[in-house]
Amino acid sequence: MSPDAKLRMDVYQEGQKAFNAGTTCPYTDWRAGTWNKGWQAAKTYSESMSRYDPTAEVPCGLCGKPTPMTATCRCDGCWELETRIRRDPDLARSILNSL
């Protein structure tokens, strides 16, 4: 078990013990105001994960348009088209021939 998973399990078990003993859980007690710390930590994490950094963009390997997809180096349109062509190249070839 990873250290993070163990910590979550310990917190959960401690909360269950507090609930079964008839006392309030220190991590979720709205009267003590401790729930706000957990909510704020989750909000900060969510904001950091959804932050857009335009300096991390790379040019698309096919069309050259800037894209934040640094692993594939493909913009959304090129990635979508390339994925569909790879899935069924014969169909893609027949469509191109019919144009």
> Residue 72 belongs to what domain range?
54-98
**Longest CA–CA separation in the chain, Å:** 74
Assess whether 60 and 94 both reside in one domain.
yes
- Contact assessment for residue 68 and residue 77, using Cβ atoms and an 8 Å cutoff: no
| Residue 24 and residue 60 share a domain | no
Tens of pLDDT, residue by residue over 44-62, are 777 776 666 666 789 999 9
- pTM (predicted TM-score): 0.45
Number of domains comprising the chain: 2
Give yes or no for residue 86 having a pLDDT over 80. yes
Distance separating alpha carbons of residues 76 and 68, to the nearest angstrom:
10
* Residue 25 pLDDT greater than 70, yes or no: no
Tell me, what's the pLDDT at 6?
Answer: 81
Residue 33: left (phi > 0), alpha (psi -120 to 50), or beta?
left
State the residue for tokens 């169909």: 91
